[in-house]
Amino acid sequence: MKHRAARAEARSYVLVFSTAGVLLACTPGERDSAKVEVCRDPTTVCVLSNGMSLHTDHRPRPLTPTEVKLRDVSVSVTAVGIEASMAGMEMPPVTVALRNTGPSEWSGRLILPVCMQGRSDWQWTLITRVGSGTQRTRVAIEASAS
């Protein structure tokens, strides 16, 4: 009689505190295959398929405040937020509400946590509210490792 050894899936859990004092876990999770737009260099203007333009003051880096600006936002939008999460990782998203800084422009500061696995591939979900509805636009952002 052959015995098969049961193999438990090994997962390492790394706990990280952000500068905001939030405890975050960076562990492998399930892949999400929903449509994601790509912004290879957010320091240049990335024009998204919905017509909005995304721009950051520098390449996003862990634990460093990054100024994020959205331009060409519809004047009917009443609120804008960003949820930043790492693709395929089980960790709570980092969220920030942007403030209206002018006609069709919203901005705010985002601080990304450190992933001890060395990954820097982030998905930002831009959430815009119009009336009682919301629109979610997912954008892949490559952050600097240091």
Q: Which domains does the chain have, with CATH numbers?
A: 29-142 (2.60.40.10)
What is the model's pLDDT at position 88?
A: 75
How far apart, in whole angstroms, are the C-alpha atoms of residue 19 and residue 94? 12
Q: What is the per-residue pLDDT across 65-94, written as a single tens digit (0 to 9) for each?
A: 999 999 999 999 999 999 999 877 777 899
142 pLDDT higher than 90: no
Query: Is residue 24 within 8 Å of 14, Cβ to Cβ?
Result: no
Question: Looking at beta carbons, which pairs linking 99-108 to residues 24 or more positions away fall under 8 Å?
Answer: 101/69, 103/75, 104/71, 104/72, 104/73, 104/74, 104/75, 105/69, 105/70, 105/71, 105/73, 106/69, 106/70, 106/73, 106/77, 106/80, 107/67, 107/68, 107/69, 107/70, 108/67, 108/68, 108/82
Write out pLDDT tens, residues 90-134.
Answer: 778 999 999 999 999 999 999 988 877 777 788 999 999 998 899
Mean pLDDT calculated for residue range 16-33: 42
